[in-house]
Amino acid sequence: MAVSDPIVVTGIGMVTPLGKDAETTWKGLFGDWKPQRPLLGREWDAFQKPQAAHAHDFKYSEKLIQRDRSLRMAVSAAEEAWENARLFRVPPNRIATTFSSSKGGILSLLNTAFDPTVNWDFLKDFFPHAGGQLLSQWFGFSGPTLSVSSACSTGLGSLALGARLLVEGEADAVLTGSSEASIHPLIYAAFQNMGILTHREEGPAPFDSNRDGFLMGEGSAVIVLETERSARKRKSPILARLSGCALGADAHGLIAMEPHGLTIVPLIQKVLSSAGLKAPEIGYINAHGTGTKMNDEVECQALQEVFAGYPAWISSTKGATGHLLGAAGSVEAALSLMALAKGELPATRNLENPDPLCRVRHVEKGGIRQKVDHVLSLSYGFGGQLGAVIFSKV
């Protein structure tokens, strides 16, 4: 992403099943905290031992009590990122947002749509653009407010759009990210019918020979992108540089991907070209790594094709966080940023017996201390939406 005014990261905020903010999430990633909890209540009686990864203990204003859960998490993550970046020093008309969800405020719709006693406008929270709209109102900025909803790659689609706004001079700073809160029997049943949910008590096991699916989760992450000129003018701490981003499509099927990774390979090549980098320069890759048989084999074939013989460390943080669906891309991008900044690479949780068909350089058991200069994060969504982003040290 060679532009006259480089794009940098000045703030990160998160709400995940591992923690109420970015630092707590990071500690949980390296700890023994298990994100999965049993789903209790009569509405779950039809399922065999249902489990999911809820976000707990995050704080939100009383003003948001009647707003959808996904929006409460979005504001919580955004407030953290906003404070980190000190965006109150940027003119409101020069701040934009590219923030979305894969399903919008679906809990508000499903939990209240058929309740005749409801006296509030829950439908306003239902649309995928509701998060970005709320953030612009919450912080009072008037730059462009745009939404990209692309299933599990929503976060990286939002990030790519935010970068474009900065390149085109539409804004000096962008709140970009995604949110997801859709743990509901109807959505859970859909994933179960697809046969892609894990039943392991230990939790999901990406890249493991005994993997059987993903753990449904929820969360949110916000990343502040900013022109370097704007950040240095305000003397804001710069966390990393956005070197490159790329979007693509698999278009093979709803959940089935091209079986040899042939659509992922050009995506990675495209993002490397965008960053002006070669494969050997990537030190760490946060893979999509859902823990399903199909995804992990296909993804590893692509990674083997591009990075064969090169020392990039690879892990999937979904083993620790669960699959956060529409929030996955932004959360994993944020975790990749933290790995870059801290010189620590998180392991793939529950990886005990690596699948011989997933021959990559895994980060195993507890993670490792390793300084790297460039990190790559990958996301793929149902229906074939693909995204990739590279962050680099400044």
- For residue 342, the domain's CATH number is 3.40.47.10
Q: Which of 45-54, 104-113, 181-190 has the lowest mean pLDDT?
A: 104-113
Task: Tell me the C-alpha distance between 176 and 14, whole Å.
Answer: 12
What mean pLDDT do residues 321-347 have?
Answer: 98
What mean pLDDT do residues 134-159 have?
Answer: 96
- Residue 239 included in any domain: no
What mean pLDDT do residues 197-223 have?
Answer: 97
- Residue 1 included in any domain: no
The two structure tokens encoding residue 190:
């859909």
What mean pLDDT do residues 291-306 have?
Answer: 96
DSSP letter string, 306-337: HHTTS--EEE-THHHH-B-GGGHHHHHHHHHH
User: Residue 382 — very low, low, confident or very high, per pLDDT cuts 50/70/90?
Assistant: confident
pTM of the entire predicted model: 0.96
Is 90 exceeded by the pLDDT of residue 108? no
- Of 233, 262, 285, the position where a domain reaches its end is 233
DSSP letter string, 193-231: HHT-B---TT---TTBTT---B-BB-EEEEEEEEEHHHH
Is 70 exceeded by the pLDDT of residue 116? no
- Of 198, 233, 268, the position where a domain reaches its end is 233
Q: Are residues 211 and 259 in the same domain?
A: no
pLDDT value for 311:
82
pLDDT value for 120:
66
User: Residue 21 — very low, low, confident or very high, per pLDDT cuts 50/70/90?
Assistant: very high
User: Residue 304 — very low, low, confident or very high, per pLDDT cuts 50/70/90?
Assistant: very high
The two structure tokens encoding residue 306:
């591009």
Is 60 exceeded by the pLDDT of residue 2? no
In this structure, the dihedral spanned by the alpha carbons of residues 374, 384, 47 and 53, taken in order and rounded to 10 degrees, is: 20
In whole numbers, what is the pLDDT of the chain averaged over residues?
Answer: 94
Is 60 exceeded by the pLDDT of residue 3? no
Task: Name residues whose C-beta falls within 8 Å of residue 259's C-beta, 6 or more positions apart in sequence.
Answer: 294, 298
- Residue 56 included in any domain: yes
pLDDT value for 111:
81
Q: Are residues 225 and 262 in the same domain?
A: no
Task: Tell me the C-alpha distance between 17 and 328, whole Å.
Answer: 12
pLDDT in tens, 237-256: 999 999 999 999 998 877 77
Nearest of 24, 4, 20 to residue 338 by alpha carbon: 24
Q: Are residues 373 and 325 in the same domain?
A: yes
- Residue 377 included in any domain: yes
What mean pLDDT do residues 59-72 have?
Answer: 94
Q: Are residues 215 and 284 in the same domain?
A: no
pLDDT in tens, 272-281: 999 999 999 9
165: left (phi over 0), alpha (psi -120 to 50) or beta: alpha
Q: Are residues 272 and 192 in the same domain?
A: no
Task: Tell me the C-alpha distance between 57 and 235, whole Å.
Answer: 32
Q: Are residues 53 and 177 in the same domain?
A: yes
Q: Are residues 74 and 218 in the same domain?
A: yes
pLDDT in tens, 170-209: 999 999 999 999 999 999 999 999 999 999 999 999 999 9
Burial of 339 (0-12, 13-18, 19+ CB in 10 A): buried
* Number of separate domains in the chain: 2
Q: Are residues 169 and 261 in the same domain?
A: no
DSSP state, 293? H
Q: Are strands 284-286 and 374-380 parallel, antiparallel or unpaired?
A: parallel
Residue 253 has φ and ψ, to the nearest 5°, of: 175, 180
- Residue 320 included in any domain: yes
Q: Which of 2-6, 80-84, 169-173 has the lowest mean pLDDT?
A: 2-6
Q: Are residues 327 and 183 in the same domain?
A: no
- Of 233, 257, 281, the position where a domain reaches its end is 233
Is 60 exceeded by the pLDDT of residue 294? yes
Maximum distance among all Cα pairs of the chain, rounded to whole angstroms:
63
- Residue 59 included in any domain: yes
pLDDT value for 44:
97
* 282 residue type, one letter: I
- Residue 240 included in any domain: no
- Residue 162 included in any domain: yes
Q: What angle in degrees, to the nearest 10, is found between the helix axes of 264-275 and 293-307?
A: 50
Q: Which of 103-117, 184-198, 260-274, 276-290 has the lowest mean pLDDT?
A: 103-117
Q: Are residues 270 and 227 in the same domain?
A: no
H/E segment holding residue 174 = strand 173-180
User: Residue 119 — very low, low, confident or very high, per pLDDT cuts 50/70/90?
Assistant: low
What mean pLDDT do residues 9-31 have?
Answer: 97
pLDDT in tens, 52-61: 999 988 999 9
Q: Are residues 307 and 198 in the same domain?
A: no
Q: Are residues 171 and 262 in the same domain?
A: no
Structural domain boundaries enclosing 340: 246-392
User: Residue 68 — very low, low, confident or very high, per pLDDT cuts 50/70/90?
Assistant: very high
